Amino acid sequence: MRTIVIAGNWKMNKTQAEALEFLKGFMGQMETAPDEREVVLCAPFTALSALSKHLHGGLIKVGAQNIHWEDSGAFTGEISGDMLVELGVRYVIVGHSERRQYFGETDETVNQRLQAAQRHGLKPILCVGETKQQRDAGETEAVIRQQLSRDLVDIDQSNLVVAYEPIWAIGTGDTCEAKEANRVIGLIRQQLSDPNVSIQYGGSVKPGNIDDIMAQPEIDGALVGGASLDPEGFARIVNYQ
């Protein structure tokens, strides 16, 4: 059975105080959320502890945005699996295009981070997707095939979420057409050995397009950036029809 997973990626937004303020608005609107939808808030490291305390193991899960592959050591600025687990974290985003683009993340380090997440019992959300240039050159399928084949070496697919995030659709308002996202996600599914992996779409998901996206048969959820910062908007996304 494929689980529906709707995750907010707050990126480098919200102080601890702002995260708690968000929860106040968000929780009030979540009472009617269908039980079978997994809802995750992927917050900055500094807000994880406060979020976990307020959510104490309820319907909404806490996620991080990165994890180092070693358990400890001389890795200035990094964070380990043990540190995340201690804070009540359940999910972790790995290989987001912003980390690949700005922080030198490679398929090899993405694979190592995925392995570390699984070793610590965290569910990784692996992000894959093509640039505009690659799409225009007709390379979408090849790029994604290569990312998956390298990122997923020795990864247990029964504890994994994949997010298809076309880079040209991130933060641009230029959402990938729902049918096209469905097509690419279908291709991603063909490359996975476990048919039950949840595959999300990410890239300019908004309250106004979530219903269309979630109506697609291959799409099992969404990874939401900007629109997850607003409690009412994100509640509307979680409560898609």
| Residues that bind ligand 13P in the complex, under the rule CB under 6 A | 9, 96, 165, 170-171, 202-205, 223-227
Bridge partners (DSSP) of residue 81 are none
* 72 touches 80 (CB < 8 A): yes
Residue closest to ligand 13P, measured at CB:
225
Is 68 considered catalytic here? Answer: no
Residue number with CB closer to ligand 13P (68 or 96): 96
Dihedral (C-alpha) 46, 47, 53, 58: value to the nearest 10 degrees?
A: -130
- Kindly name the residue from 38, 68, 96, 98 that is annotated as catalytic: 96
* 129 touches 166 (CB < 8 A): yes
The number of CA neighbours under 13 Å toward the Cβ of 44 is: 13
Tell me which amino acid residue 111 is: N
Residue number with CB closer to ligand 13P (127 or 152): 127
- Residue 225 annotated in ligand binding: yes
- Residue 171 annotated in ligand binding: yes
Tell me which amino acid residue 148 is: L
Residue number with CB closer to ligand 13P (81 or 95): 95
CA distances 101 to 53, 95, 98, 105, 193, Å, are: 33, 10, 5, 7, 28
Closest separation between CB of residue 74 and ligand 13P, Å?
29
Cα–Cα distance between 114 and 111 in angstroms, integer?
5
Closest separation between CB of residue 195 and ligand 13P, Å?
24
Is 177 considered catalytic here? Answer: no
- Residue 11 annotated in ligand binding: yes
Residue number with CB closer to ligand 13P (74 or 132): 132
- Residue 10 annotated in ligand binding: yes
Which residues are catalytic, by number?
Answer: 96, 165
